[in-house]
A and B are shown apart, each in its own frame.
Chain A
């Protein structure tokens, strides 16, 4: 295969991966800006979405219903997680909360292992048919679904934050929590809503990627970390940055895997994380740290 075609192929693979990373990164960024917490359970929401939808399909539900139910269940789970785990610790330090979320993600993985075992579960692609040929490069139909999902989620979130009063209230809460609470906006309710929203987005990402990668109880660990790398790459407080960070990471990973060796795929991500944290801790698009109230 000529190099041009090869690069296009890696680019397409990278865009698919990047779409998923961007969605997970959005979860990190949204929760961080609104509540100030870094939530390392984000990856487990992805896993729970994937495995729950598979179980729902096994129960005989049609695919669209199984997906809807799974997203709703994970959304409720996210809200419950905020109430039961984050809310009681809301006045603890940032580090304490990070450790709590890491600990809880290990616990969720443990329970998932008991419920679903170690095997990997396949899922039917959303639409059948041969892969699509784009200028000599091959793209899975499911990859197109993944890209569509990330575009739809990003546009929906944009409309929500920019065009609805509720979204503005959430943004206000992120910018100045003190002033927001004096406007009658409850930061606690916003936090609850935020966790539920991000859990649902994570679940969607997990469901859409499963037909490509299959689902296992431990898929959330790596995806969550990659999403975090993408979020840091974009500056952690910047939604646009998170999306760009996701796609950039996906493309770099795919290029590295293809041109060097697929064994280095994860190493490349974490090398990027280290380089960013050492040289530009505010991320590519982030502003230097500002005071939080």
Chain B
């Protein structure tokens, strides 16, 4: 069944159409990659899905609920989370605290209890800490847990952002260029990690320029160009499509 349904989605910035009349569906448990040249509308698409910007036209349905134009925190509460092309970590907090903020939704205590019941708060704190540590373990940052995030190496900051997103235990996770700035070794670790996520109940949308990574891990690829869908199919089909090669992958020089 389809988890995410996008119909006729359109967004203009001034005279520029960043996303033009786009429609596609994403099935539960898939890893779907979005590729295309810079300015093809990939990040705008992510911003539209997560509610950071509102579409001019079209609908976005998640789990059959219309989420078009809802505020980001409402959409997040329905189970969509994302990472950013340029990292958005909570500087000044430690590694594990960052992940704990991601997991805060699993807390049962409301505002008032948090203010008045210390035993309850302590118990919940332990519960959320355990959840956060579990996610750090998955990305291999357990031993860095008490380090302030801003002194973590760049590649590990990327992994941390994914761990924080996972801590929310979203149904759908949007990764915006997760491999940007990573070396080959780190990219391989990242690829293995992403492959594990569908088994944990997450559907993955991925924007990435690293073609090796995309071809290795994605089930389905949507090719965008100038805000429109140029092609969609599995990795094999995409690699052999003449239009895609012309627009993005480039002709092989003989």
Q: Do A and B come from one complex?
A: yes
Name A's B-contacting residues (CB within 8 A). 160, 163-169, 171-172, 175-176, 178-187, 193
Q: Does B196 contact A (CB under 8 A)?
A: no
* CB-contact partner of A168 in B71, B88, B101, B115, under 8 A: B101
- Chain B residues numbered 74-125 whose CB sits less than 8 Å from any CB in chain A: 76-77, 81-82, 84, 88-93, 97-98, 100-105, 107, 109, 111, 114-115, 121-122, 124-125
How many A-B residue pairs have C-beta atoms within 8 angstroms? Tell me. 89
Main secondary structure of the interface of A (DSSP, over half): helix
- Say yes or no: B100 contacts A165, CB within 8 Å: yes
* Contact A183:B101 (CB < 8 A) given known A163-B125, A165-B124, A166-B107: yes
B248 to chain A, nearest CB (A): 28
Q: Does B164 contact A (CB under 8 A)?
A: yes
* Contact A172:B93 (CB < 8 A) given known A163-B125, A164-B114, A166-B109: yes
- Say yes or no: B93 contacts A179, CB within 8 Å: no
- Chain B residues numbered 42-58 whose CB sits less than 8 Å from any CB in chain A: 50, 52
- Say yes or no: B73 contacts A168, CB within 8 Å: no
B58 to chain A, nearest CB (A): 21
B82's closest neighbor in chain A, by CB? A182
Residues of A within 8 A of B97 (CB): 168
* CB-contact partner of A171 in B77, B90, B105, B114, under 8 A: B90
Interface size, B (range): 35 or more
* Contact A183:B93 (CB < 8 A) given known A165-B124, A165-B125, A193-B111: no
* CB-contact partner of B90 in A160, A175, A186, A193, under 8 A: A175
- Say yes or no: A184 contacts B77, CB within 8 Å: yes
B135 to chain A, nearest CB (A): 13
Q: Does B9 contact A (CB under 8 A)?
A: no
Residues of B within 8 A of A180 (CB): 90, 101
- Say yes or no: B104 contacts A169, CB within 8 Å: yes
B114's closest neighbor in chain A, by CB? A166
Q: Report Cα–Cα, A116/B121, bound state, in Å.
A: 40
* Contact A175:B73 (CB < 8 A) given known A180-B101, A183-B164, A184-B168: no
- Say yes or no: B168 contacts A183, CB within 8 Å: yes
* CB-contact partner of A184 in B76, B114, B128, under 8 A: B76
* Contact A168:B102 (CB < 8 A) given known A181-B72, A181-B73, A184-B73: no
Residues of B within 8 A of A160 (CB): 114-115
Q: Report Cα–Cα, A280/B76, bound state, in Å.
A: 40
Name B's A-contacting residues (CB within 8 A). 50, 52, 71-73, 76-77, 81-82, 84, 88-93, 97-98, 100-105, 107, 109, 111, 114-115, 121-122, 124-125, 128, 164, 168
Q: Report Cα–Cα, A160/B114, bound state, in Å.
A: 8
- Say yes or no: B107 contacts A183, CB within 8 Å: no
* CB-contact partner of A186 in B73, B98, B101, B168, under 8 A: B73
- Say yes or no: A181 contacts B111, CB within 8 Å: no
A156 to chain B, nearest CB (A): 9
Q: Report Cα–Cα, A164/B77, bound state, in Å.
A: 20
- Say yes or no: A179 contacts B104, CB within 8 Å: no
Residues of A within 8 A of B76 (CB): 181-184
Residues of B within 8 A of A168 (CB): 93, 97, 100-101, 104
A268 to chain B, nearest CB (A): 33
* Contact A165:B104 (CB < 8 A) given known A182-B76, A185-B73, A186-B73: yes
30 contacts between A and B (CB under 8 A): A163-B121, A163-B122, A165-B100, A165-B107, A165-B109, A165-B121, A165-B124, A165-B125, A166-B104, A169-B101, A171-B92, A172-B90, A175-B91, A176-B88, A178-B72, A179-B88, A179-B89, A181-B73, A181-B76, A182-B52, A182-B72, A182-B76, A182-B82, A182-B88, A183-B81, A183-B105, A184-B73, A184-B104, A184-B168, A185-B73
- Say yes or no: A178 contacts B88, CB within 8 Å: yes
Q: Report Cα–Cα, A104/B121, bound state, in Å.
A: 36
* Contact A172:B101 (CB < 8 A) given known A164-B125, A178-B52, A183-B81: yes
Q: Report Cα–Cα, A180/B104, bound state, in Å.
A: 11
A28 to chain B, nearest CB (A): 19
Q: Report Cα–Cα, A32/B254, bound state, in Å.
A: 62
Apart from A160-B114, A168-B104, A182-B73, list 10 A-B contacts with CB within 8 A: A163-B121, A165-B104, A166-B109, A168-B101, A175-B90, A179-B90, A183-B164, A184-B105, A185-B101, A186-B73
